């Protein structure tokens, strides 16, 4: 939407005309903010300078944009970069897999992971979206819901392979440590792996602390 506003502004349209052409999808104040930011970007100024130019606070800029977009699009997010050592380790692991496993071997891998599930889990902030022209309209259409501050939750372990799932392991009380992992998860993983994949198969786990504990590794 910013690109549309930028293009129309460069073609000579003013903020009001752009607002009318977009039929209120973005507020007039946000359009003015984008145009102001476009001008100031050429001078490479910060958001603080932008706030000073518009005679409003920096937080006000964030609130204006969140009202229409639910986010602040100008914030630069630093993406973590892999170090040379990490890259070498990944290449080393990939080569190890290629040299030690065939395609049929990989179908006999049991992948596993754990996840917390709570009473608020039916709502997903990442995936739940409501299309609306304003925050107020979204609220009317069910964008606001109540959640429990400290919801009851359980942890679930599950294994998956090329043709199905293992038996889940549910931890109803507390979190999982290395000893619980050894006593309650690994026996189920071994039993399901032998039953589903036969005598020769590979068990995969991530780098969670209970997994890399020396007793678990042993």
Question: Over its length of 218 residues, how does the chain's per-residue pLDDT go in tens digits?
Answer: 778 888 877 777 788 888 878 777 778 878 888 777 766 554 444 556 656 666 666 566 666 555 554 444 444 556 678 888 999 999 999 999 999 988 888 899 999 999 888 877 666 666 677 777 887 887 777 767 777 777 788 889 999 999 899 999 998 887 788 999 999 999 999 999 999 998 889 999 988 899 999 999 99
Mode of pairing for the β-strands spanning 109-118 and 202-204: parallel
Query: Token pair of 100, please?
Result: 């030690």
CA distances to 122, 128, 166 from 140, rounded to whole Å, are 19, 15, 42
Q: Are strands 164-165 and 169-171 parallel, antiparallel or unpaired?
A: unpaired
Q: Evaluate whether the domain defined by 101-204 bears CATH number 1.10.540.10.
A: no
Task: For residue 178, list its beta bridge partners.
Answer: none
Domain residue spans of the chain: 1-68, 101-204
The pLDDT of residue 161 is 92
Six token digits for residue 163: 């043709």
DSSP assignment letter at 49: H
User: Could you give the CA distance from residue 157 to residue 192 in angstroms, rounded to a whole number?
Assistant: 13
Identify the CA nearest to 74 among candidates 83, 86, 87, 61. Answer: 61
């Amino acid at each position: 939407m910013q690109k549309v506003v930028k293009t129309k502004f460069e073609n000579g349209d003013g903020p009001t005309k752009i607002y009318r052409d977009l039929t209120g999808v973005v507020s007039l104040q946000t359009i003015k903010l984008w145009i102001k930011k476009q001008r100031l970007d050429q001078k490479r100024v910060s958001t603080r300078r932008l706030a000073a130019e518009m005679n409003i606070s920096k937080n006000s800029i964030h609130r204006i944009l969140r009202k229409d977009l639910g986010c602040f699009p100008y914030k630069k997010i630093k993406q973590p970069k892999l170090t040379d050592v990490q890259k070498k380790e990944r290449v080393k692991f990939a080569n190890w897999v290629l040299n030690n496993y065939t395609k049929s071997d990989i179908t006999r891998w049991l992948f596993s992971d754990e996840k917390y599930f709570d009473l608020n889990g039916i709502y997903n902030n990442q995936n739940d979206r409501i299309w609306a022209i304003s925050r107020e309209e979204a609220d009317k259409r069910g964008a606001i819901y109540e959640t429990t501050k400290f919801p009851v939750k359980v942890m679930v372990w599950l294994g998956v392979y090329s043709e199905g799932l293992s038996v889940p392991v549910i931890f109803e009380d507390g979190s999982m440590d290395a000893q619980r992992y050894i006593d309650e998860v690994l026996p189920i993983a071994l039993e399901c792996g032998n039953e589903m994949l036969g005598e020769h198969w590979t068990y995969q786990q991530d780098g969670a602390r209970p997994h890399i504990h020396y007793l678990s590794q042993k």
